[in-house]
Structure 1
Amino acid sequence: MNLFKWASIILIISLVKPAISNGVSTKFLEFAKKDEIFSWMVGVRRKIHENPELGYQEFETSKIIKQELDKMGITYNNDKHEIAVTGVVGFIGSGDPPFVALRADMDALPLQEMVEWEHKSKVPGKMHACGHDGHVTMLLGAAKILKTHSHILKGTVVLVFQPAEEGGGGAKQVLDSGSLENVEAIFGLHVHPEQPFGQVFSRSGTLLAASGFFEAIITGKGGHAAIPHHSIDPVLAASNVVVSLQHLVSREADPLDSQVVTVGMFHGGGAFNVIPDSVTIGGTFRAFSKESFMQLRERIEKVIVGQASVHRCNATVEFSSKNKPFYPATINHGGLHKFFKGVAGDVLGVNNVQETAPFMGAEDFSFYQEVIPGYFYFIGMNNEKNEEPASLHSPFFQLNEDILPYGAALQASLAVRYLSQSQHPKKHDEL
């Protein structure tokens, strides 16, 4: 992070009177709620929902995005400039500094949709169960708002349609492509099915945890279940590993330093009366600090290998790879938090801007925040009629399409207000 970018953030915080009036934000929401705009967003979202694609496979989704950007006359990277395989990065405005980015993730999940409706997923075993189809649609909606009002843009808005958030670390590949080198701030959102409709939730500082995955193969000696003394039982060893891993949190971690270790996969054997040769287990570990996260990683490996040895087994442990990288903690910039509350209050009303406690979910938006001042928030979409909404990553998850104009207007307002308040003198040598 160079001092020039930090100076921009400090300037935003110091400004008392916004350069763009609050009325503009209200007009953005009114624009997005127009029948023709809302119907267009719903149509785009349903088209994406019917054709879900997993991380780095979002070719049709990317094609839909480009078609819509073409219709709006918005420039973006062409096929010769590949960004994270399927990523699309568009630009609205003068093409000159300052640059502010808005990000939407594109990928679906390997789930069979259980919601019966006209626009149900047409791809067996794949579903938009996390609302990314809505995120893409909101960013396209924001793009339409910004393009329509491009005469008030005092700089450049960068539209980031990012693949592979669900474990693939697409954000890191977008960064590695160099597409965001001049960006001074970046904003991202996520729908929340259980929070009240039209309310936003976030906080300054740590919002989401650092996250990693592990997989271990515990190898013994298979044999007949009736004569276990002729075998070396990897099921018993793996069972003790699972229990011992929980002690890392309950007995080794500071109770005030929240951590999680969860074994979610346990595969071994195929018959009731046979001790298998090996068992495979896998899971996730999470912490809010990098130090605690790396300590967990080290201890997970030692516990698995050590417990396997106690039971006369061997163990190999693999952690997150290039295809499933570790995610850093999602840490919101303090100055952008103050900025966000002001803009969101203008768009949604101050009573609809809420603080939230940090929690153990993870987001690869955190990769952006390691090099760019960034802000991530949740927008509620539950109405009073839906008393028990399905959670994210559920096959029964449903996106409330009425939230689309709100997310689009808020993202557009954040970009316009940021550019308006980020006007700064040319970079001097001493910076």
Structure 2
Amino acid sequence: MTFGQQLIDWRRELHQHPELSGQEVETTERIRHWLEGAGLRLLPYQLTTGVVTEVGKGEKVIALRADIDALPIVETSDVPFRSRRPGVMHACGHDVHSSVMLGAALLLKEHENQLPGRVRIIFQPAEENFTGARAIIKAGALEGVSAIFGMHNEPGLPVGSFATRGGAFYANVDRFVIRVKGKGAHAARPHEGNDSIVLASQLVTALQSVASRNISTLESVVVSVTRIQGGNTWNVLPETVELEGTVRTHQPEVQRQVEKRIRELASGFASAFGAQIDVEWFAGPTTLVNDEKWATFATRVARDVGYHTRTADVHMGGEDFAVYLNAIPGAFVSIGSASSYGLHHPAYNPNETLIEDAARYFASLAEQALLES
């Protein structure tokens, strides 16, 4: 079996057995088994799920990171290796990322004695709920590391394409829950109540003005209401309605402005309609900020190994890798996967031919970064 086919086979096995964030027990065991079978040493960090391996010797340490968790999505693709776990799917490509870094580990192992330092390869759990990076750091896996690199496949780019950027890249992710409490009533006698559904509907519309009318058009910001829930029958006006959504920004000042404005709108509507409106705010991962030096370096190495490189646009998605970059410098990159369907889609199907080239790229990147650091 060729090296590339081995990586694809591993990816397909991971794809058939996806596990949700924090539940990646079988995934962890598979990765451990493959690493140990290749003679790689595992580091004894206290992790419930996830694996960390290391190649080489010396004081210098460079880290590579893959994520291993899946999503609560029912797969609709028709691939023969589709998910065997109902309602769970690798719809974001973490199975691809894991296979890439497994390949990088094997390649580095082939000439371990010639490495000018150590490469620590992290297979991180719980990226999708933004808790895994903190667990990895708490376990001590970044100690001694001078720079860290990671990737995400990009369905909108062709295979053979590479993109990254220095500075802000992926967005800050905030989540909000707004609870509207009016007064319930019979649907035929709305004047006896205070209609929380009408109020919530108007609030949803008003929230769209935050990005379009309260923040400079030169700034990147998204405000999306993704859930509205209220009532349980057709002829009763419910007392309460709950809204949930997300805010994406790249600048801390804009983030603060958006939260302030949403709270002001909620308070104003509550006063105007004689209702009670409570806003809960949940901060997610911060903006992912690539180190300028390492982003430029990563691009140069990509060009040298044959990728078509470009400067990435800012991304409105969130990424737990941002937590690492708050602690140490490094760079996160996009590698084209040419899927007809986007990330988190039930029919998402990345082109597996990217895996071998990406593995060779990260092995080369880590080795050259050791010389650069």
1:196 matched to which residue of 2? 158
**2:328 pairs with 360, 363, 372, which one?**
372
1:315 matched to which residue of 2? 277
* Mapped pair 1:392 → 2:336: no
Shift of 1:44: 1.0
- The change in CA–CA distance for 1:301 and 1:82 in structure 2 (over 3 A counts) is farther
**2:356 pairs with 405, 410, 419, which one?**
405
Task: Please say if residues 169 and 327 of structure 1, whose CA atoms lie closer than 8 Å, have aligned partners that are also in contact.
Answer: no
- What is the alpha-carbon distance in structure 2 between the residues aligned to residue 341 and residue 132 of structure 1? 22
Shift of 1:297: 2.1
Q: Secondary structure at the residue paired with 1:161?
A: strand
Q: Secondary structure at the residue paired with 2:314?
A: coil
Pairwise mapping of residues 125-164 of structure 1 onto structure 2 (< 5 A)? 125-164=87-126
1:226 matched to which residue of 2? 188
Task: Please say if residues 104 and 136 of structure 1, whose CA atoms lie closer than 8 Å, have aligned partners that are also in contact.
Answer: yes
The residue type equivalent to 1:403 in the other structure is L
Shift of 1:411: 0.9
2:34 matched to which residue of 1? 68
**1:289 pairs with 251, 256, 265, which one?**
251
Task: Please say if residues 182 and 194 of structure 2, whose CA atoms lie closer than 8 Å, have aligned partners that are also in contact.
Answer: yes
Q: Which runs of no fewer than 5 residues in structure 1 stay unpaired? A: 1-34, 423-431
Task: Please say if residues 35 and 41 of structure 2, whose CA atoms lie closer than 8 Å, have aligned partners that are also in contact.
Answer: yes
Pairwise mapping of residues 105-120 of structure 1 onto structure 2 (< 5 A)? 105-120=67-82
- What is the alpha-carbon distance in structure 2 between the residues aligned to residue 357 and residue 116 of structure 1? 31
Task: Please say if residues 241 and 308 of structure 1, whose CA atoms lie closer than 8 Å, have aligned partners that are also in contact.
Answer: no
Task: Please say if residues 204 and 333 of structure 1, whose CA atoms lie closer than 8 Å, have aligned partners that are also in contact.
Answer: yes
- What is the alpha-carbon distance in structure 1 between the residues aligned to residue 38 and residue 163 of structure 2? 31
2:235 matched to which residue of 1? 273
1:88 matched to which residue of 2? 51
Shift of 1:367: 0.8
* Mapped pair 1:416 → 2:367: yes
2:296 matched to which residue of 1? 338
Pairwise mapping of residues 210-221 of structure 1 onto structure 2 (< 5 A)? 210-221=172-183
Q: Which whole-Å deviations, capped at 9, do the CAs of 1:243-287 have from their partners, x for residues lacking one?
A: 121221122111212211110111111222211121111000011
Pairwise mapping of residues 231-242 of structure 1 onto structure 2 (< 5 A)? 231-242=193-204
Task: Please say if residues 295 and 330 of structure 2, whose CA atoms lie closer than 8 Å, have aligned partners that are also in contact.
Answer: no
Shift of 1:125: 1.0
Count of aligned positions: 373
Q: Which whole-Å deviations, capped at 9, do the CAs of 1:347-379 have from their partners, x for residues lacking one?
A: 124xx0111221312211111111111101111
- What is the alpha-carbon distance in structure 2 between the residues aligned to residue 300 and residue 105 of structure 1? 33
**2:220 pairs with 245, 258, 262, which one?**
258
- What is the alpha-carbon distance in structure 2 between the residues aligned to residue 40 and residue 399 of structure 1? 17
Q: Secondary structure at the residue paired with 1:49?
A: helix
Q: Which whole-Å deviations, capped at 9, do the CAs of 1:119-139 have from their partners, x for residues lacking one?
A: 111111110001000001111
The residue type equivalent to 2:284 in the other structure is F
Task: Please say if residues 199 and 348 of structure 1, whose CA atoms lie closer than 8 Å, have aligned partners that are also in contact.
Answer: no
The residue type equivalent to 1:52 in the other structure is P
Q: Secondary structure at the residue paired with 1:401?
A: coil
- What is the alpha-carbon distance in structure 1 between the residues aligned to residue 289 and residue 325 of structure 2? 7
* Segment of structure 1 superposing worse, 166-175 or 189-198: 166-175
2:24 matched to which residue of 1? 58
- What is the alpha-carbon distance in structure 2 between the residues aligned to residue 109 and residue 247 of structure 1? 31
Identical positions, percent:
38
RMSD: 1.5
Q: Which runs of no fewer than 5 residues in structure 2 stay unpaired? A: none
Q: Secondary structure at the residue paired with 1:196?
A: coil
Task: Please say if residues 166 and 290 of structure 2, whose CA atoms lie closer than 8 Å, have aligned partners that are also in contact.
Answer: yes
Shift of 1:294: 2.2
Q: Secondary structure at the residue paired with 1:280?
A: strand
1:40 matched to which residue of 2? 6
Q: Secondary structure at the residue paired with 1:243?
A: helix
